[in-house]
Structure 1
Amino acid sequence: MKSFTIVEINELLKGELVGTCDEQITGAEQLERATAQQITFIGSNKFAKLWEASKASVAIVDAKIKLEPGDNRALIRVKNADLAMATLLEALEPAPPVLEEDIHPTAVVHESVVLGKGCKIGAGCYVGKNVVLGDGVVLYPNVSIFDDSKIGHHTVVWSGTVIRERSEIGNHCIFHINVSIGADGFGYRPSDDGRGLVKIPHIGNVIIGNYVEIGANSCVDRGKFSATIIGDGCKIDNLVQIAHNCILGRSCIMAGHSGLAGSVTLGDGVIIGGSASIKDHTTINSGAVIGAGSGVMGDVDAGKTVLGYPATDARDMLKQWVALKRLSKN
């Protein structure tokens, strides 16, 4: 178990230490649940009132919050408590599971596969023809990588993930459990006789940039003609659907249960809230924010925040909700 003194933690965070505490810190926890051996954090005045009753010995606190440590307790004042806590959690994080063999005997690796230095391939994996794995790639048990795919260096792929043929994955990516990359897009048209549906083949691929993280059970479908593209630094939550020929710019965020229909384009830094749905052939321009549960039916301007179903300017939608609430009381 890792442990740190408050002085060591303060040095790591480059904060201002206020108060004293002789406890060894072995973990982190919410204010209400923390013990004397755990550190907590306070990012807004709303939670500052909970500090007095908390059993935590030390808290990381936004510098703007006025708070005193108390007896045998300490505060570490920082510019941004959320970012400081992220740094500390990285230091406290346990080591990941270790794959003791470079290639497990039960893995199936085609003879044409190109392996970089330090690759690890776990039990039950399948790596197909002409796949290229960069240095330090880790495939945990039961991952499937199909023909002609390329995975950049130090990418980690967790169990159950399937990467279909011709996919191109960047460096330092993380794919969590049961991610699907490159499945067929959802495309059908009524048959001439009107008695069935004709499947439209999707012959494109998926291209994913560097430092992309995709959460468990999320899907990125292949393009119909060219590629579905996920830009550098995008972070995709669990249970997210990205349909064929979507293009995401840099550092976009999609929260759980959100989805993009076919050929949606996101600019850089777009944020999409949980359970939001985006209509096909829609463009969400850079810096826009889509509120949770919203249904976007048309293009969204850069930097704009929209909300509701159908989504509209967030301020206008909030006014509508207030008006409806007033009407219901009459």
Structure 2
Amino acid sequence: MKTFTIQQINDVIKGELLSNTTQLITGPEQLEQAGESQITFIGHKKYAKSWDTCKACAVIINADIELTPIDNKAIIKVKNADVAMAMVLEMFVEEGPVFDTAIHPTATIHATATIGEGCQIGAGCYIGKNVVLGKGVTLYPNVTILDETSIGAATTIWSGSVIREKCVIGAYCIIHPNATIGADGFGFRPSPDGRGLIKIPHIGNVVIGNGVEIGANSCVDRGKFSATTIGDGCKIDNLVQIGHNSKMGRCCIMAGSSGLAGSVTLGDGVIVGGGACISDHVTLGNGVQVGGQSGVINNFSDGAKVLGYPAIDSRDALKQWVILRKLVKESKSHNYS
């Protein structure tokens, strides 16, 4: 078990240490559940009153929060408690699963594949023809990498993931369990005789930049003609669908169960809330924020904040909801059925 003194923690987060503790810290925990050897954090004033009853031996707080010092309980003030806590969590990260051998004997690796220095390949992995793995790539057990795919240095792919043929994945990416990269795009048209559907082949690929993280059970479909692209630094949650030929800029965020239909274009820094859906051929500019459960069917320019179904400017959506609540109250007061 890792332990740190409060001074060692403060040396990392570089806050203002307002009071001290002699207790060795065994890990971080949320405010209500923290024990006597743990550190917690308060990022909003409304939670400050809980500090008096919290059992934690230390707390990280935002600069605008004031707490009463308690004997042998440390207080560290920082500009952003959420960022500081992320740094503390990094200190307590344990080493991942251990590979007894760098390349497990049950892994199947095509003779034409290129395996970079320091790669680790777990049991049951399949690596196809002309695949290229950069230095330090880690494939956990039962990962499938199909023909002519390339994966950049220090990328980690967790068990059950499938990377289809001819895809390109950058360096320092993390792909979580059972994600699929390069599945066929969803394209069908009614057959001329009216008796069924014609499947549209998708002969493109997926190109993923550096530092991208893709959550468990998410899917990125291959392009119909060219590539579905995900820019550097994008973070994609679990159970996310990205349709064929979509293009994501740099450092976009997509929360769980959200989705992009085909040929969607996102600028840099777009945030898509959980369960939100973006219709096909929609373009969202840099920094657009889409509220959870929204349905976006129109283009929005840089910096827009949208909400609702169909999504509109968030301020207008909130005003509409207030008006609807007032109408409901009025109808009840007049006993309208």
Q: Distance in 1 between matches of 2:20 and 2:108?
A: 56
What does residue range 133-212 of structure 1 map to in structure 2 within 5 Å?
Answer: 133-212=133-212
Q: Residue 69 of structure 1 corresponds to which residue in structure 2?
A: 69
Task: Tell whether 2:31 aligns with 1:31.
Answer: yes
Q: Distance in 2 between matches of 1:172 and 1:33?
A: 34
What one-letter code is carried by the residue in structure 2 that aligns with 1:6? Answer: I
Q: TM-score, normalised by structure 2?
A: 0.97
Instruction: Please list every run of at least 4 consecutive aligned residues from structure 1 whose deviation after the TM superposition is greater than 4 angstroms.
Output: none
Q: Residue 333 of structure 2 corresponds to which residue in structure 1?
A: none
Q: Distance in 2 between matches of 1:271 and 1:237?
A: 12
Q: Residue 221 of structure 1 corresponds to which residue in structure 2?
A: 221
Q: Residue 317 of structure 2 corresponds to which residue in structure 1?
A: 317
Segments of 5+ residues of structure 1 without an aligned counterpart are none
Q: Residue 5 of structure 1 corresponds to which residue in structure 2?
A: 5
Q: Residue 94 of structure 1 corresponds to which residue in structure 2?
A: 94
Task: Tell whether 2:286 aligns with 1:286.
Answer: yes
Residue 72 of structure 1, CA deviation = 1.4
Residue 69 of structure 1, CA deviation = 2.6
Q: TM-score, normalised by structure 1?
A: 0.99
**Deviation by residue 1:96-140 (Cα, 9 ceiling, x = unmatched):** 111121110111000111011100000000000000000000000
Residue 12 of structure 1, CA deviation = 1.2
Give the SS at the match of 1:50: helix
Q: Distance in 2 between matches of 1:273 and 1:46?
A: 24
**Deviation by residue 1:269-320 (Cα, 9 ceiling, x = unmatched):** 0000000000000001100000000000110111010000000000000000
User: Could you tell which deviates more after superposition, 6-15 or 177-186?
Assistant: 6-15
Residue 68 of structure 1, CA deviation = 2.1
Q: Residue 46 of structure 2 corresponds to which residue in structure 1?
A: 46
Segments of 5+ residues of structure 2 without an aligned counterpart are 331-337
Q: Distance in 2 between matches of 1:200 and 1:108?
A: 32
Q: Distance in 2 between matches of 1:99 and 1:112?
A: 24
Q: Distance in 2 between matches of 1:86 and 1:138?
A: 24
What one-letter code is carried by the residue in structure 1 that aligns with 2:305? Answer: T
Q: What do you get for the CA RMSD once the two structures are aligned?
A: 0.6
Give the SS at the match of 2:83: helix
Q: Residue 22 of structure 2 corresponds to which residue in structure 1?
A: 22
User: Could you tell which deviates more after superposition, 46-55 or 27-36?
Assistant: 46-55
Give the SS at the match of 2:50: coil
Give the SS at the match of 1:49: helix
Q: Distance in 2 between matches of 1:327 and 1:286?
A: 36
Q: May I ask how many residue pairs the two structures share in their alignment?
A: 330
What one-letter code is carried by the residue in structure 2 that aligns with 1:326? Answer: K
Q: Residue 277 of structure 1 corresponds to which residue in structure 2?
A: 277
Q: Distance in 1 between matches of 2:299 and 2:272?
A: 14
What one-letter code is carried by the residue in structure 2 that aligns with 1:72? Answer: N
